[in-house]
Amino acid sequence: MGDGLMIQEGSSVKATGEIAQIPVSEVYLGRVINALAKPIDGRGENSASESRLIESPAPGIISRRSVYEPLQTGLIAIDSMIPIGRGQRELIIGDRQTGKTAVATDTILNQQGQNVICVYVAIGQKASSVAQVVTTFQERGAMEYTIVVAEMADSPATLQYLAPYTGAALAEYFMYRERHTLIIYDDLSKQAQAYRQMSLLLRRPPGREAYPGDVFYLHSRLLESAAKSSYQLSEGSMTALPIVETQSGDVSAYIPTNVISITDGQIFLSADLFNAGIRPAINVGISVSRVGSAAFFLVF
């Protein structure tokens, strides 16, 4: 789970006998951590008394409720035509440099005063890009209710693979304590690439685009944790906004089609609209929210 520089032939290895888990607590609010939940913002260690499995079973159908509460993004194009509800999974998809991260960060900024805990997971991003996002959150007062999980582009593939599950575990912790949570995965394309790298090193048979055969399960078990809890379980929710990058607007590629089939809709950002100066560059023709009117505020 690191760079491996200290591992040598003949080194002793001991099993802990435990399933991988991370500490969870409200003390992580306002912090920047890595995939092992260790702070990397230079503000010292956290002391958490509870722990949670990095990967827990997703809530079953009895434990869920239908999505009926809206989650406002602050972007009129989304809130009016492609509404997002608490507990929904809505994909943000588009080419590079089309404003995908901007849509996600604006959504987090709009949760101020809404009693929503936000988790931003940066996977394989440049350190400067992550620092810019964190600075924006700090300047706008969003770090008070936000946790940033970051594994940079120079991080080992194993940690880039684990980072989304760490973020999901933290969001689930708050969801089961009757809190509303929002989690951003930026982006799952890079997690899939890290998983492909791990699988090829393990000599697993490659499939389409050299991805392993279970890459669909990689994302489905992650996104299934987003839910609106039932009365019996808690009153919390976990809303997921995964981001996937396309090449030349090709939404029929392997990873984009996989994640589109898992989520409850997608927001497609067009490079042509972006270059024409339309921001956010949302192509409403192929964007959809499968929750629909259930995520609207009723106005009489």
Q: Among all residues, which ones are annotated catalytic?
A: 290
**At 238, is the secondary structure helix, strand, or coil?**
strand
For residues 260 and 289, what is the distance between their CA atoms, to the nearest angstrom?
A: 11
Domain boundaries defined on the chain? 26-294
Whole-number pLDDT of residue 291: 87
- Residue in 130, 159, 142 with CA at minimum distance from that of residue 29: 142
Helix or strand holding residue 267 (H, E): strand 265-269
What confidence tens digit (pLDDT) does each residue in 161-197 have?
999 999 999 999 999 999 999 999 999 999 999 999 9
Amino acid at 271: A
For residues 94 and 243, what is the distance between their CA atoms, to the nearest angstrom?
A: 8
Whole-number pLDDT of residue 232: 67
Inter-CA distances, 55 with 8, 91, 189, 216, Å: 29, 21, 19, 16
In the chain, % helix, strand, coil (3-state, to 5) comes to 35, 20, 45
For residues 88 and 31, what is the distance between their CA atoms, to the nearest angstrom?
A: 25
Q: Measure the CA angle with vertex 61, ends 216 and 119; round to 5°.
A: 60
Helix or strand holding residue 131 (H, E): helix 127-139
**At 286, is the secondary structure helix, strand, or coil?**
coil
CATH architecture of 26-294: 3-Layer(aba) Sandwich (3.40)
| CA neighbours closer than 13 Å in the CB half-sphere of residue 141 | 4
What are the residues whose beta carbons fall under 8 Å from the beta carbon of 33, sequence distance 6 or more? 39, 40, 41, 147, 148, 149, 150, 166
- Residue in 71, 138, 161 with CA at minimum distance from that of residue 111: 71
Conformational region of residue 16, where left means phi above 0, alpha means psi within -120 to 50, and beta covers everything else:
alpha
Whole-number pLDDT of residue 1: 65
- The residue behind tokens 């090829």 is 200
Whole-number pLDDT of residue 70: 92
One DSSP character per residue, 179-214 reads -EEEEEEETHHHHHHHHHHHHHHTTPPB-GGG-BTT
Whole-number pLDDT of residue 300: 46
Instruction: Provide the whole-model pTM.
Output: 0.94
Whole-number pLDDT of residue 233: 66
Give every residue of the chain whose pLDDT is below 70, as ranges.
1-3, 232-233, 298-300
For residues 190 and 154, what is the distance between their CA atoms, to the nearest angstrom?
A: 12
